[in-house]
Amino acid sequence: MCVLGATGMVGQIYLQMLADHPWFEVSAVTGNTTVGKKLIEAYAGKGDLPRKFWELEVLPSDPSKIDADLVFSCLPTKAARELEHKFAEAGFPVVSDASANRYQEDVPLIVPEINPEHLDAIDVQRKRRGWEGFVVTTPNCTTTAFVLPLKPLLDEFGLRYVNVVTMQAVSGAGYNGVPSMAIMGNIIPYIQGEEEKVEQEPRKILGTYRDGAFRPAEVTIDATCTRVPTLVGHLAAVTATLSREASVEEVAEALEGFRGLPQQLELPTAPPRPVVVREEVDRPQPRLDAGSNDRSGMVVHVGRLRKGSLERTVKFVSLTNNLVRGAAGIAILTAELLKATGRLG
Amino acid sequence: MCVLGATGMVGQIYLQMLADHPWFEVSAVTGNTTVGKKLIEAYAGKGDLPRKFWELEVLPSDPSKIDADLVFSCLPTKAARELEHKFAEAGFPVVSDASANRYQEDVPLIVPEINPEHLDAIDVQRKRRGWEGFVVTTPNCTTTAFVLPLKPLLDEFGLRYVNVVTMQAVSGAGYNGVPSMAIMGNIIPYIQGEEEKVEQEPRKILGTYRDGAFRPAEVTIDATCTRVPTLVGHLAAVTATLSREASVEEVAEALEGFRGLPQQLELPTAPPRPVVVREEVDRPQPRLDAGSNDRSGMVVHVGRLRKGSLERTVKFVSLTNNLVRGAAGIAILTAELLKATGRLG
Amino acid sequence: MCVLGATGMVGQIYLQMLADHPWFEVSAVTGNTTVGKKLIEAYAGKGDLPRKFWELEVLPSDPSKIDADLVFSCLPTKAARELEHKFAEAGFPVVSDASANRYQEDVPLIVPEINPEHLDAIDVQRKRRGWEGFVVTTPNCTTTAFVLPLKPLLDEFGLRYVNVVTMQAVSGAGYNGVPSMAIMGNIIPYIQGEEEKVEQEPRKILGTYRDGAFRPAEVTIDATCTRVPTLVGHLAAVTATLSREASVEEVAEALEGFRGLPQQLELPTAPPRPVVVREEVDRPQPRLDAGSNDRSGMVVHVGRLRKGSLERTVKFVSLTNNLVRGAAGIAILTAELLKATGRLG
Amino acid sequence: MCVLGATGMVGQIYLQMLADHPWFEVSAVTGNTTVGKKLIEAYAGKGDLPRKFWELEVLPSDPSKIDADLVFSCLPTKAARELEHKFAEAGFPVVSDASANRYQEDVPLIVPEINPEHLDAIDVQRKRRGWEGFVVTTPNCTTTAFVLPLKPLLDEFGLRYVNVVTMQAVSGAGYNGVPSMAIMGNIIPYIQGEEEKVEQEPRKILGTYRDGAFRPAEVTIDATCTRVPTLVGHLAAVTATLSREASVEEVAEALEGFRGLPQQLELPTAPPRPVVVREEVDRPQPRLDAGSNDRSGMVVHVGRLRKGSLERTVKFVSLTNNLVRGAAGIAILTAELLKATGRLG
């Protein structure tokens, strides 16, 4: 198994999560400016690389140089656009958390608990493109902060409209993404390209796949995305308009009771409950509740659940670990789902 | 002129803003645990007290001990509840930024640019209560972050509904209000009592005063208030539903063109334009745009103005200096308005 | 076993470290303003209390109300001064990280790896005071940041003089100790009473206990203590003058090779190596290297080891987890040492 | 007058300080990747550029393209090494805060209050190199944090040895220099190349220039340089060994009484007192005392003055505004000194 772009911020989380994975073994890693170096040298000063990967050689992101039965991609957008198709064409199953291919009409955009049936699009994709491999994508890290709780709301009460304001951690922009001069003691009320993704992706994820086509869910989303001085954990303040009136208790029950196929299949990286409702008045908080680089980081914490001022609305805040549930972890869970449903080799 | 509660965080801003005020002279300051000390001793280590006030003696908040023709109150809520009425009864005009009396049916809640006519309630208040003095209040600091831009929207397009998510600076809770252990690298998605104020106050402020009674504006507000690790400047992400469709250009023009009575009267603390629309994609930012402890801190900066996804909606972020426009400055501007309209002595 | 002052910042670390301790079982906890409440209520919003302690009732710090064979004290200084003697008199062995009794002539001040033989003073203490129990103390959290590496330097090269400048985390002052308004984006170059402790304690710890008396080590210490905006981990920049010339390699070897009685006895909380020398040019860093609330937090990390400009001097930085090695962990390790050497019941 | 490298962090401070300068007029600015753009575009999002400079065209750093009677250089080291000589050769007086030429045997390294007589080296420099122009340098920003107070100590008591530990703000590394992921809630105990500069530069600055040669002061310096999460203001904790015993009062008097040639000449950017001794126990603090982008930022604040534990030693902390006294301001003051002493045109 190979991680493309393993030397970055998210690559590091992949490697921590995969170090003791029961199903997947890291056999290759790729980089860009550090090709030829040992992985530990490419990481200098930036984090904690599990000892077992220190000696791995950083390879170029070239399908002909890689021997692997599965490829994770956390490449930057532009590189992902160029390379992921090549890997698929060369026969590799590619699970990507890059945005490059998310919106293509034959590429599934997967949150394993929400839309595992979208994986059926893989067959169409392969046929249409003549590939032996395939590409499956996972959403923007911020989307994962609120799309999981939307699923049970949609299923149980109907969902019309979502207003979401996000407060995103600096790690979401990569290790060098946000200069300290820009963000310390400050808020930047804009993240390039983010609101478009956040307003669009949930519609595909919550939609259906039938007769070879994705049909987006009929929900309208308004997003304002901001960067705040936190390290890990994207917080979203959500106001949702349902199709019918629902009490706070009903909504809490729907959220707490929500389980998906990964929970049924007891996939290794699946948290027992994907959504946890916090009853403390002041939780979730990013520094306390974002979880670690393991299953604990896969839980979306929902708090401050209450009725809105308008009819049929509820308000809550939700928190995602942008590096785990929002990136490496969701890709690994998606790969587990692929394997458990017989789509890997 | 006297500042009640002058030894706190906001008291300090009052004194900086009043040090060279053309109309008002600070003749007395009151405190609680530091009564009898020199003001400079009561301030140790917490900020910059103008030299001319160093030797002022801290007096008790007792009307019989104070000689002043005007009283500013930045007392804590409980003390304000006990003391502000006493001062009014004893003949003092009281301008208060405490929440204690804001919601009483004969007490004006003033944003000078929005509802100067509400000051007419003073006559009724005095008559009804048999006071020689009176109490006038100013809103919660967070309310000021978004109520100013709402006024021109209401006047020009009609206003139905506002969804606001705030990211509030630690100074909003007073010098000792937020422990560093609680907020560094973190977000606290709850501020006790704040959302109620933020949902209620704009209705009174934007409403009318006629025939001796306040009538609230018919606008519904949904608020989520959070604390973030910034020092000064409350940022609000706003989605507003208007009564009719309006283009971004029309809205920008309405906001930029907005002027109130303080601007007409050229009051000393009135900024030339109360609302400034920022065109940069990533402004306003608290650390860069909150302004200083003078007229620059009285400007509300609006940015990221854009249409919402639903009909007749607009979205924007707005920033207030919570200590100046949100507290000391708005009270001083209100006092200037009282004086300019002949209501002080 | 009982924790006095269990509801504070450090109390919380004790409970996390003791939750699965192989030797000690928490049977009672005490508090002050929260007496009578369940422990989970006394903790609201401040951290992670292990589930098994949620229902414990908070007792008053009164020996007659406590049933325990060992007492840990993390009481505030003043309470410690009043209460620790009472507990010792009532027959309890008291291990305290409070400063109240550290400097008394018959009270051991213990760093288990450095001066376990100082525990012999317990007998004298009991006899002189007529106590059934006793009091043993551990040092100020900042002292632990650099006294451990000093021990092998003293033993192998002799030690004359130490210049230490500390950069201390906000947790060192307790949960409410440092307001965010004071420290965010700032440094406070003064901590009340800290430099005196830091200059005095190592002399007692590194000294000898013979013939019923402590004799301080003949080393002179200059300290400057500052507060910086970090959460956990006190960093110390040290320049040490040795009695003889030593190469960086010799010093590194002495530090790395250092082991104490806790390592020999394989005490549960003893880290395999108490001092770890980091070779990366830019480590240790508080956020990356302070370790967790377990044995990993007991390691003192030394980095940037190099020769000084004057003869016989070496320079380094060292990092301690102020809550673990600097407070709860060192007290627990001391208790383990007491037990292993037959001094507990 | 021209600023080379005007589009960076420090370039911005130059322009703010020069906007209303009584002697110097900015006629040209140069950049690298933004050549041809208007200056305001090159600045997007990073700070406050005075309106009068918005329309300036960014020129290449090429002497043949520049028309100016004085050149300030805040180029990056490598560019400075290539370009400053070319400008001097082409006849420009160059005042540089880059490190490239500081240590050359005929280039003065100036702190205007300390060593104005070093400017005599300009004549030798010109003759030896056959230049019409010349290069004068100013020290590393961290050196300025403690070298100014050393001068009166040297003059009045003699100075043997200095131990300095610095806590440096992120702005010292340039706008993009320190990623937020690296420094938020953290300390990095290493800054590449910094300690060498800090140990070497004061010797040249405090030394003499006689008979065409610089003779370094005979003082030994030990430095440990760290990066901390502050925005502006480098703090230094200093222990100094004098040649004779001096009381705290004597030292305070020497520091407070210190004046240099810029004060005598009343140069526009010279602060009335270059060193201010703070008596509050907990000052100076970077966020409160670093001053603004004007003469207030030229003051070095010294606090916590006290005797050391060894004979003839004193301890203090001192604070410099690294962007003003440490970079743009000291260069401007040096240029004022050049002009006032007849060395400019």
CATH number of A2-140+328-340: 3.40.50.720
Q: Note the pLDDT tens digit of each residue in C213-235.
A: 999 999 999 999 999 999 999 99
Choose from B54, B288, B289 for mutation: most chain D CBs within 10 A: B288
pTM for the predicted model, two decimal places:
0.96
The DSSP secondary structure of D248-292, one letter per residue, reads HHHHHHHHHH---HHHHTT-TT--S-SEEE--STT---HHHHS--
> Per-residue pLDDT averaged across B229-257, rounded?
98
Is B202 within 8 Å of chain A by CB? no
Give the whole-angstrom CA distance, residue D52 versus residue D39: 10
pLDDT at C44: 65
Q: Which residue of A has its CA nearest to C283?
A: A45
CATH class as words, domain D143-321: alpha beta
Cβ neighbour number for residue C23 with a 10 Å cutoff = 16
pLDDT level of residue B44 (50, 70, 90 thresholds): low
pLDDT at C42: 86
Query: Does the distance separating the beta carbons of C178 and B176 come in below 8 Å?
Result: no
Residue A104: pLDDT over 70: yes
Please give, rounded to a whole number of angstroms, the shortest distance from the CA of A71 to a CA of chain C. 29
Orientation angle between helical segments C329-340 and C9-18, nearest 10 degrees:
50
> Per-residue pLDDT averaged across D102-113, rounded?
97
Residue A30 DSSP SS3: strand
Q: Phi and psi dihedrals of C329, rounded to 5?
A: -65, -40
Residue D47: pLDDT over 70: no
Q: Which residues contact C210 (CB under 8 A, 6 or more apart)?
A: none
Query: Does the distance separating the beta carbons of B185 and D280 come in below 8 Å?
Result: no
Q: Note the pLDDT tens digit of each residue in D73-100.
A: 999 999 999 999 999 999 999 999 999 9
Catalytic residue among C85, C118, C234, C301: C234
Question: Subunits touching D (CB < 8 Å, at least 3 pairs)?
Answer: A, B, C
- Between A309-323, C282-296, D40-54, the lowest mean confidence (pLDDT) is in D40-54
> Per-residue pLDDT averaged across A243-248, rounded?
98
Structure tokens at B316: 């924007």
Is C10 within 8 Å of chain B by CB? no
Residue D44: pLDDT over 70: no
Please give, rounded to a whole number of angstroms, the shortest distance from the CA of D313 to a CA of chain B. 28
CB pairs under 8 A between A and D: 52
CA count, 13 A, side-chain hemisphere, B214: 28
Active site residues per annotation of B: 141, 234
Q: Note the pLDDT tens digit of each residue in B190-221.
A: 999 999 999 999 999 999 999 999 999 999 99
Give contacts of C280 with chain A, Cβ < 8 Å.
44-45
> Per-residue pLDDT averaged across D238-255, rounded?
98
Query: Does the distance separating the beta carbons of C181 and B9 come in below 8 Å?
Result: yes
Question: Subunits touching A (CB < 8 Å, at least 3 pairs)?
Answer: B, C, D
Give contacts of B182 with chain C, Cβ < 8 Å.
175, 180
Residue A317: pLDDT over 80: yes
Q: What is the mean pLDDT of chain D?
A: 96
pLDDT at A124: 96
Largest CA distance in chain B: 60
Strand partners of residue B220: B161
Nearest to B304 among A161, A190, A229 (CB): A190
Judge whether B61 and B4 are in contact, CB under 8 Å.
yes
pLDDT at A44: 65
Give contacts of C286 with chain D, Cβ < 8 Å.
185-187
CA count, 13 A, side-chain hemisphere, A63: 17
Q: Which residues contact D165 (CB under 8 A, 6 or more apart)?
A: C165, C224, C237, D223, D224, D225, D226, D236, D237
Asked, as a colleague might, if the bond just before C60 is cis with ω within 30 of 0, I would say no
pLDDT at C45: 58
Nearest to D187 among C235, C281, C308 (CB): C235
Nearest to B220 among A199, A221, A309 (CB): A309
Please give, rounded to a whole number of angstroms, the shortest distance from the CA of B156 to a CA of chain D. 32
Query: Does the distance separating the beta carbons of D45 and B282 come in below 8 Å?
Result: yes
pLDDT at D42: 87
Q: Note the pLDDT tens digit of each residue in B96-112.
A: 999 999 999 999 999 99
Residue B146: pLDDT over 90: yes
Choose from A288, A292, A301, A304 for mutation: most chain C CBs within 10 A: A288
Q: Note the pLDDT tens digit of each residue in D108-128.
A: 999 999 999 999 999 999 999
Query: Does the distance separating the beta carbons of D229 and A181 come in below 8 Å?
Result: no
10 Å CB burial of residue A50 (0-12, 13-18, 19+) is middle
Query: Does the distance separating the beta carbons of D228 and C186 come in below 8 Å?
Result: no
Catalytic residue among D85, D141, D225, D301: D141
pLDDT level of residue C46 (50, 70, 90 thresholds): low
Structure tokens at C151: 């021990």
> What ipTM does the predicted assembly reach?
0.96
Judge whether D162 and D240 are in contact, CB under 8 Å.
yes
pLDDT at C11: 93
Q: Note the pLDDT tens digit of each residue in A20-70.
A: 999 999 999 999 999 999 998 887 656 678 999 999 999 999 999 999 999
pLDDT level of residue C307 (50, 70, 90 thresholds): very high
Nearest to D176 among A175, A179, A231 (CB): A179
Q: What is the mean pLDDT of chain A?
A: 96
> Per-residue pLDDT averaged across D150-160, rounded?
98
Q: Which residue of A has its CA nearest to B187?
A: A285
Query: Does the distance separating the beta carbons of A184 and D231 come in below 8 Å?
Result: yes
Q: CA of A165: how far to CAs of A282, B268, C167, D183, D209, in Å?
A: 17, 37, 36, 26, 63
Clarify whether D21 is annotated catalytic: no
Cβ neighbour number for residue B262 with a 10 Å cutoff = 23
Question: Subunits touching C (CB < 8 Å, at least 3 pairs)?
Answer: A, B, D
> Per-residue pLDDT averaged across D134-140, rounded?
98
Give contacts of D171 with chain A, Cβ < 8 Å.
181
Please give, rounded to a whole number of angstroms, the shortest distance from the CA of C310 to a CA of chain D. 8
Residue D190: pLDDT over 90: yes
Domain segments of chain D: what residues?
2-140+328-340, 143-321
Give the whole-angstrom CA distance, residue D86 versus residue D41: 28
Q: Note the pLDDT tens digit of each residue in B58-71.
A: 999 999 999 999 99
pLDDT at D36: 95
Please give, rounded to a whole number of angstroms, the shortest distance from the CA of A183 to a CA of chain C. 11
> Per-residue pLDDT averaged across D226-233, rounded?
98
> Per-residue pLDDT averaged across B35-41, rounded?
93
Please report which residue ranges of B90-206 form alpha helices under DSSP H.
Answer: 121-129, 147-157, 180-183, 194-205
CB pairs under 8 A between A and B: 121
Q: Which residue of C has its CA nearest to D222?
A: C309
Residue A147: pLDDT over 80: yes
